Amino acid sequence: MKVIVGVSGGIAAYKAAELVRALQQQALDVHVTMTEAAQQFVQPLTFAALTGHRVLTSLWQDADHSNPDAAMEHIAEAQSCDALVIAPATADLLARMAHGIANDFLTTLYLATPAPVLVAPAMNVQMWEHPATQANIAILAARGVQILPPESGALACGMVGSGRLADVETIARAVVATLHRRQNRKQDMAQETVLITAGGTREPIDPVRYLGNRSSGKMGYALAEAAQQRGARVRLISAPTQLQAPAGCAVTPVLTAEQMRAAVLEHLPQATLVIKAAAVADFRPRITAGQKIKRSGPITLELEPTGDILSETVQRRLPGTLVVGFAAETNDPLEHGRGKLARKGADAIVLNDVSRAGIGFESDRNAATFLTESRAIDLPEMSKRALADRILDEVLALRRDKNLLSEVGAMPTRRAPTDRG
């Protein structure tokens, strides 16, 4: 497996050489990329000699302007690595990562890689404790970056406090554990064809206005990415979002609840698992005005109910297809969640309390209760990407409990999604 060690410009840069050695002892293929500042502390040659690979130091390194492959090297590296570990990570590097500034090879690689990212900060204690650095750390942690906090002790600057690079063995162990988790998970959904709905539907009032809701699509997209990375074939039925579809997922864009219903029913026969994370309008205007409604005093909108896609999915599914709904509740969540589970007939409901600050709609974080007929499993607050994996763990456990895999295996092969339309 290939691990890239990113080295930024702090006095602890020399310890990255020990980290390279520790990772190599785990039979990992280690590559190194250095920021310009890191090269003030350690020569790239040190790492080239240790790894046997060219050290990547610049986006324009060895630039051959007639060779398109050279211009895309950061993408090739990003796609081919199994983990990126940055040690030491300086305050400046953390700030650039948190704010999406991609102005050198390492920060560009960070933005481009789908691999897990670990950072081991090292700096002066005041820089580490500064609210700006702590805010950047919080942003990165919320996005799923694994932070390996600095240790306390005597620092190179002469001060004593927190800021010393985490122990090299600790960093190496965290990298190995991450790789194991990723590898074990890699193929545990290889038998699944997953249909996921995401985002908030829009019900047109007139050509310029619509009834919508606050769903950003982040929860559904995180589930799609997690399932895809675990080997599933994934079709994402997506109401409008600002998000980039996860690589490898087939996407059907929709606008209204009725379009979402039609897309779900079209793809349902191929699905072994349906997860309905979308926030679907429960009502739509009975009449959509053909022209923009002019401002002329109070108006009354007559609303009619939309179809309940989740219930229809449950009724029309083939034997062996698991159906998991979501419930967004603001009061008495457990009671309402249980009611929804029973009424809709789903195998499970992922219940989230959207009245809680900092989670739910739009946030990068969420917390949920995975509700089945017999269990209520608490999934505490974490990033939506991490929660997606926890939800999928519970779905797979539920499939095992229900012993449905044999039924799915006995069914005719289901067609996989192949396109992005």
| CB nearer ligand PMT, residue 166 or residue 324 | 324
Q: In whole angstroms, how close is the CB of 258 to ligand PMT at the nearest point?
A: 9
Is 223:192 a contact under the CB 8 Å cutoff?
Answer: no
Judge contact between 255 and 202, C-beta under 8 A.
yes
Binding interface with ligand PMT (CB under 6 A) = 197, 215-219, 257, 276-280, 282, 306, 308-310, 325-328, 340, 352, 354, 360-362
Spatial contact of 314 and 307, defined as CB atoms under 8 Å apart: no
* 216 vs 369, beta carbon nearer ligand PMT: 216
Per-residue CA distances from 153 to 88, 125, 157, 164 (Å): 16, 10, 11, 7
Rounded to 5°, angle at Cα 370 from 340 and 272? 85
CB of 312 to ligand PMT, least distance (A): 8
**CA of residue 256 relative to chain centroid, distance:** 25
Phi-psi region of 302 (alpha: psi -120 to 50; beta: other; left: phi over 0): beta
Taking alpha carbons only, the member of 167, 186, 187 closest to residue 178 is 186
Q: How far is the CB of 387 from ligand PMT (least distance, A)?
A: 9
Distance from C-alpha of 83 to C-alpha of 117, rounded to nearest angstrom: 6
Do 127 and 166 meet the contact criterion of CB atoms below 8 Å apart? no
Closer CB to ligand PMT, 124 or 372, in the complex: 372
Closest to ligand PMT by CB, 21 or 336: 336
- Catalytic residue IDs: 157
Which of residues 174 and 279 has its CB atom nearest to ligand PMT in the complex? Answer: 279
How far apart are CB 374 and ligand PMT at their closest, in Å? Answer: 20
Our CB check for ligand PMT shows the closer of 74 and 218 to be 218
CB of 197 to ligand PMT, least distance (A): 6
* In the complex, least distance from residue 239 CB atom to ligand PMT, rounded to whole angstroms: 9
The Cβ of residue 158 has, within 10 Å, a number of other Cβ atoms equal to: 7
Inter-residue contact 415 to 246 (CB < 8 Å): no
Beta strands 151-154 and 117-121, pairing class:
unpaired
Alpha-helical (H) ranges within 117-271 are 125-129, 131-142, 168-186, 218-229, 257-267
